[in-house]
Structure 1
Amino acid sequence: MDLWFLGTAAGRPTKERNVTSIALKLPDPRCEIWMFDAGEGTQHQLLHSPLKLSKLTMLFVTHLHGDHTFGLPGLLSSRSYFETKEPLKLFGPPGIKQLVTTALEISGSRLEYELIITEISEGIVYEDEQYKVEAALLDHRIECFGYRVTEQDRPGKLDGEKLKRLGVPSGPLYGQLKNGRDVELPDGTLIRSSDVVGAPVKGRVVTILGDTRPCDNAVKLAAGADLLVHEATFAEGQEEKAYDYGHSTTLQAAQAAKEAGARQLVMTHFSSRFRGEDMPALEDEAKTVFPASAAAFDMMHIHIPCVH
């Protein structure tokens, strides 16, 4: 899994930062792009990354504030210029369908693929054999969600040398053993999956929160996460201002990561009052509470490795 921060500013873009968007690239063999929010200019940011819009299959919106949604019409329209006809699934809070369909209709935009829009509530919003995405309400000025992406555990590695010694022919039997099924050879020998397959590979968990004050659901969504992305619009000492605007400070983001037992915290959605030279101090604030903290910047790339 790989994560790209396409925009890390709060409210409005600056010369250093675009407004909010995050892209998650799934590992082989899927290699799909899942996007979280699409502020104005997101498709321009994609052009400066190694990511391809044609690979975008899922888009999750946290809330309907413009700095998280004004890039949607252009992004969706541009996807039609690629050869892919694969449907795009769009998830978001109530109102997302009206926002998108109205913009496309009155602009005369025509999509060359199926756009499937789901207005979500709390709970599991998507699940397949490999991934599950859960959503929960946060504490912001309007209805806002956080998302927890869970990769399902994968079977361990087959011990090829042992299989050869046991006389197991390569082919379908290998697949059955890898999937946890015992097999019987023609001579009656029973081969147990547990004897030839290594320990399962634990699935990764990535939590991406929308705008929020400190709240219980932020911690629940991030429980045991390999990576927590948490807004930190304000700095230490600005707690009252953060509360008034429905946001968090660096220390509050770090406290959420600590309480959740996350492995790593990346802060984003910084107020325009902060410049690049301010980032080390903001990181240091968070590290006093949660040492594995970092401040995101536009085009920041993070690889999330498997943990055995």
Structure 2
Amino acid sequence: MQLQFLGTGAGMPSKERNVTSIALKLLDEIGSIWLFDCGEGTQHQILRTAIRPRRIDKIFITHVHGDHIFGLPGFLSSRSFLGGESPLTIYGPAHVRSFIETALQMSNTHLTYPIHFIDVQEGIVYEDAHFVVHAKKLQHVIECFGYRIEQKDLPGQLLVDKAQALGVPRGPLYKELKLGHNVTLEDGTIVKANDVLSAPKPGFTVTILGDTKYCDASIILAKEADLVVHEATFDASTTNLAASYGHATNVEAATVAKKAKAKNLIMTHISARFLKQDVEKLVNEAQTVFPNTFVADDFALFEFKNGQLVKD
């Protein structure tokens, strides 16, 4: 799993930060990429990465403010021009569908692939054999959701000695057992995967929150997550102002991570009022509450290496 930030600014683009978009790269796990929000210029940002648009098969939208959705028509069109034919599913508030359909209709844009729209409500919005995604309403000035992405437990390691003792020959049957499937030997003996695998390995949990002021819903979504992405539009000196605009401060983001007993926090959605030299102060303030705090820059790539979150 890798998390790459395509835009980390709030409200409008600046010279240093584009508006919000985050790519959750699940290439090793399921061969796809999920996009969270798609602010203006996202397709331009993608051009400066190794991301292939046709690999993006799901887009999760937190809310319909322009700095989170204005990049959708352009990205969808470019994905078509670049040979995308596989279906794309877009999850988000109900107005996302009408925005996209109107933009495509008025611009006479034809797509080479189907789009499926899922109107998000609280609860499970997606589940397959590998992942489950939960959504919960946050507290912004319009309807806004946060998403909790949970990877399901992974099969344990194959205990080769046990498999051999049960008569399993080396080869394709080993692969089936590693995947957690029972196998049948030539003599009809059934070997159960549970008998030759170590204990399942827990999957990861990533929480990606939309715009929100400090609220309990954020803490619930972030509970014991390996990684929490939280906005930090304001700093600790402007707590009341932040709340009045439905936004959070750096210290409030850190407090959410601390109360949720999360492992790591990445702050994003940084206001243009903060210049490059101010960002270090934002991080330092947050780290007094939650030490494992990072701040995202455009194109920053985060991944876990040896159990530790690393910013490449």
Q: Where on the TM-score scale, by shorter chain, does this alignment land: which range?
A: over 0.9
1:193-216 residue CA offsets vs partner (Å, 9 max, x unmatched)? 444212212111110000001111
Q: How does 1:133-144 map to 2 (within 5 A)?
A: 133-144=133-144
**2-side partners of 1:94 and 1:163: how far apart?**
51
- 2:231 is equivalent to residue 239 of structure 1: no
Aligned to 1:260: 260
Question: Where does structure 2 lack aligned partners over 5 or more consecutive residues?
Answer: 308-312
User: Structure 1's 185 and 110: CA in aligned 2 closer, same or farther, altered over 3 A?
Assistant: closer
Q: How does 1:203-242 map to 2 (within 5 A)?
A: 203-242=203-242
Q: CA deviation at 1:168?
A: 1.4
Question: Where does structure 1 lack aligned partners over 5 or more consecutive residues?
Answer: none
Give 1:130's aligned amino acid: H
- 2:46 is equivalent to residue 46 of structure 1: yes
Q: CA deviation at 1:81?
A: 1.4
Q: How does 1:9-24 map to 2 (within 5 A)?
A: 9-24=9-24
**1-side partners of 2:287 and 2:271: how far apart?**
19
Between the two proteins, the alignment pairs up a number of residues equal to: 308
What secondary structure is seen at the aligned counterpart in 2 of 1:255?
helix
Q: How does 1:267-286 map to 2 (within 5 A)?
A: 267-286=267-286
Q: CA deviation at 1:85?
A: 1.1
Q: CA deviation at 1:29?
A: 5.2
What secondary structure is seen at the aligned counterpart in 2 of 1:64?
coil
Aligned to 1:55: 55
Q: CA deviation at 1:174?
A: 3.3
Aligned to 1:108: 108
Give 2:93's aligned amino acid: P
What secondary structure is seen at the aligned counterpart in 1 of 2:274?
coil
User: Structure 1's 188 and 86: CA in aligned 2 closer, same or farther, altered over 3 A?
Assistant: closer
Equivalent pair of 2:19/2:39 in contact (CA under 8 Å):
yes
**2-side partners of 1:94 and 1:188: how far apart?**
53
1:7-37 residue CA offsets vs partner (Å, 9 max, x unmatched)? 0000011100000000000042522110000
Q: CA deviation at 1:239?
A: 0.3
Aligned to 1:199: 199
What is the percentage of aligned positions where both structures have the same residue?
Answer: 50
Which deviates the most, 202-211 or 178-187? 178-187
Which deviates the most, 270-279 or 226-235? 270-279
**2-side partners of 1:7 and 1:272: how far apart?**
12
User: Structure 1's 229 and 272: CA in aligned 2 closer, same or farther, altered over 3 A?
Assistant: same
> Scaled by the length of structure 1, what TM-score is found?
0.94
**2-side partners of 1:209 and 1:218: how far apart?**
7
**2-side partners of 1:184 and 1:22: how far apart?**
44
**2-side partners of 1:190 and 1:39: how far apart?**
53
Q: CA deviation at 1:275?
A: 1.3
Aligned to 1:6: 6
Q: CA deviation at 1:112?
A: 0.6
Equivalent pair of 2:53/2:84 in contact (CA under 8 Å):
no
What secondary structure is seen at the aligned counterpart in 2 of 1:150?
strand
Instruction: State the 4+ residue runs in structure 1 displaced beyond 3 angstroms.
Output: 170-195, 304-307
